[in-house]
Amino acid sequence: MRGPTQIAIGDVVVLRHRKHDGTPHWVIPTQFLGQDAHGYWLVRPKGSFISRPGAAAVSASAVLHLVPHEGDYVVEFFDDHHPGDFRVYSDIVAKLAWQELQPTGWEVTSIDMDLDVVQSTTRGLYVDDEDEFAAHQDLLAYSPALIAQTAAEADRVMSLLQAAEGPFDGSAQLWFAEYYRRSAAETD
């Protein structure tokens, strides 16, 4: 099992994605919500600022992130409060690692491998950015083993989503409920 053993509810966890050549990609501040058999559940509250070189966004709703105990992916879950059509957005990644930040908090680093497994309300379930993955194989010098590993992980995540297994078994709805319960308690 990968991940910290001493992490507290509410701790800041920064997701920092890079491309294979080391260039920066998305930086996403979150808060630790809890963990279960699937991994570490993080929340990006509504109004949170995220950025990558040349782009930024403010979260229109709360978004859950899962950093799994095992596997080469990181998942975003969106509920019915989200105005867009995404419900699940799984980034296939490499070299996923946790580091403790000083004086407090955590950072999760990974290499974004371009392939994404997405579930949307309008397009259903699909693999996104296959063209980007193909173009970057030469441009960013992916090894044949990394190409095969990335494609296999995308297939595995797609199978889990199709079967509603693993972290796609409805667990996100329970964590959304927990987040909204805690948020309501904090405002009371």
8 A C-beta contact, residue 106 and residue 4: yes
pLDDT score, position 2:
83
Under the banding of pLDDT at 50, 70 and 90, the label for residue 188 is low
- Segment 56-61 shows an average pLDDT of 95
The string of DSSP letters for 19-69 reads -TTS-EEEEEEEEEEEE-SSEEEEEE-TT-EEEETTEEEE-SS-EEEEEES
Mean pLDDT of the chain: 95
Under the banding of pLDDT at 50, 70 and 90, the label for residue 132 is very high
Say what percent of the chain tops pLDDT 70.
99
pLDDT score, position 40:
98
pLDDT score, position 186:
83
User: What residues does each domain of the chain span?
Assistant: 12-187
CATH class of 12-187: mainly beta
pLDDT higher than 90, residue 1 = no
